[in-house]
Amino acid sequence: MIIKKLAVPLINDKILQQAEHGYIATAAITDAGFDFIRTRLPGKTKLDIVTGLDGLTSPGVLKRIWRHYQDRFTVRIYTRNIFHANVYIFELPFRKSVGFTGSGALTLEGLKDHEEIFNKVTDVKEVEALLSWYTTYYEFAEPLTEEMIAEYELLYPYWKQREIASREEKKQFIALTSRAFSWDGIRFKTQYFKKEDYLVLSNAQADLDTEAQQTARAALKSKLQQLHESIQKHVARIRLHADNTANISSLNPQDHADHKLTSIGMMYGRSEAELKRYAPTAQPGDFITLQVIVMQKNIAIALVPGNPGSGQADREFFRFKMQEEEYRKTFQTLLTALGSDYFIEVAGEQKPADSFQQPDILWEYTKADHWKHHRFIIGKIYQPGDAAIANETIVQTVEQEFEKLMALYQHLKDPKGAAV
């Protein structure tokens, strides 16, 4: 029997509820995927798991299993080859058993959200053959140890960062080449940013540094400078730092990730006096900012607690404060009030701002943030041709969006940087 969403039979057929013993071979494990299984199993049910580390299993879930569930759940790591199998076998009452083979890993996406496919196996001999296959890999796998988790925890953020970058490149590729998008269908005559402003940030030009690219990038920077001069008084009025030379990102590809210039933005945040409270050499980008970002095919107006390697003080403060119930309730209220047109991105996973119905769900989502390795951003995307970013409206749009995001800005930033 072919099954698209493994979560459906696991719940509807009460397989997890009845399971006496479970055997899972999987390419990857996440906290959410593990908890989906764990919370539905009877209290005495044993679960054996074999996985590789090729699918970027969360080190957090390995640590949790090691520390809290060793009496019931066992994890072994297969290291002899790339391990990409996904098999689920459950022993049920009255000597019955059921197995599933398919593409979905032990993640929430693999179990119910992504497009996966599974084959259900109920024939006794076929299930026995599947269990024999499972046992071979389980026995040749390495037992999970505390030393293994500690070493893996150091490497995981770098691997995850590369995965996120690859996913972003794929998303941009699809957005730029899909039939739904065409530069020719956009009326740039009334737009503040023209076609050439986006094209200079395209993959074809991102790593070039010829005179032609430098000229085009300088023209784009000049437009951002003019926009800055138009919103400067308003920015100062809402108590963000603004000067005559807006903090506009570097035009040199060598200063960007992978030496590719795919976005240019201007940022606003703490004043020089506030920055000096942390360090004399502190830069605005080292802390939470409001930004206008021009990318390959769109504009973002966003609150940016930090890009990879930045925002340590504010992001660690936020992570600490999220342990407080009232703080995370306020954060959830402010975030969801923005509406579905806004997004939040943590550790490469982007979701609509209003998709978190409970503060604790939002808290779990934000726990994936790591200031050294990931981008943290909340904002709204505008497409080329949007009336809101036309010549006559872009200044008002930026000012209004900054005002909407200011409550979150004040909530997230470390108060040690308060104005003096």
Can you tell me the distance from the alpha carbon of 334 to that of 408, in angstroms, rounded to the nearest whole number? 6
Can you tell me the distance from the alpha carbon of 308 to that of 295, in angstroms, rounded to the nearest whole number? 17
Selection from 70, 28, 34 nearest residue 52 by Cα: 28
Tokens of residue 130, six digits: 């599947």
Name the DSSP class of 155: H
Our CA angle for 169, 171, 176, nearest 5°, is 95
Q: What are the residue boundaries of the structural domains of the chain, listed by start?
A: 2-144, 183-417
Correct CATH for 183-417 of 3.40.50.300, 3.30.930.20, 3.40.718.10, 1.10.10.10: 3.30.930.20
Res 87: pLDDT: 97
Our CA angle for 224, 245, 233, nearest 5°, is 80
Residue type, 235: V
Res 265: pLDDT: 92
User: What CATH number is given for 2-144 in this structure?
Assistant: 3.30.870.10
Listed in sequence order, the residues at least 6 apart from 304 whose beta carbon sits closer than 8 Å to its beta carbon are 267, 288, 289, 290, 291, 311, 375, 376, 377, 378, 379
Selection from 93, 100, 94 nearest residue 122 by Cα: 100
Inter-CA distances, 352 with 132, 142, 307, 337, Å: 44, 40, 19, 11
Low-confidence ranges of the chain (pLDDT < 70): 180, 242-246, 278-284, 417-420
Sign of the Cα torsion 48, 49, 50, 53 reads negative
Name the DSSP class of 387: G
Can you tell me the distance from the alpha carbon of 28 to that of 137, in angstroms, rounded to the nearest whole number? 15
Tokens of residue 71, six digits: 């009496």
pLDDT digits (tens, 9 = 90+) for 315-348: 999 999 999 999 999 999 999 999 999 999 998 8
Can you tell me the distance from the alpha carbon of 102 to that of 93, in angstroms, rounded to the nearest whole number? 24
User: Structure pTM?
Assistant: 0.77
Tokens of residue 242, six digits: 């603004």
Give Cα 123 to chain centroid, integer Å.
Answer: 41
Q: What is the DSSP string of 298-343?
A: -EEEEEEEE-TT--HHHHHHHHHHTTSHHHHHHHHHHHHHT-TTEE
Q: What is the DSSP string of 218-281?
A: HHHHHHHHHHHHHHHHHHHHTT----SS-EEPPS-GGGSGGG----EEEEE---HHHHHTT-TT
Report the first-to-last Cα separation within the chain, whole angstroms: 68
Selection from 270, 342, 261 nearest residue 294 by Cα: 261
Selection from 75, 86, 22 nearest residue 49 by Cα: 75
pLDDT digits (tens, 9 = 90+) for 261-303: 999 999 999 877 777 776 666 666 788 999 999 999 999 999 9
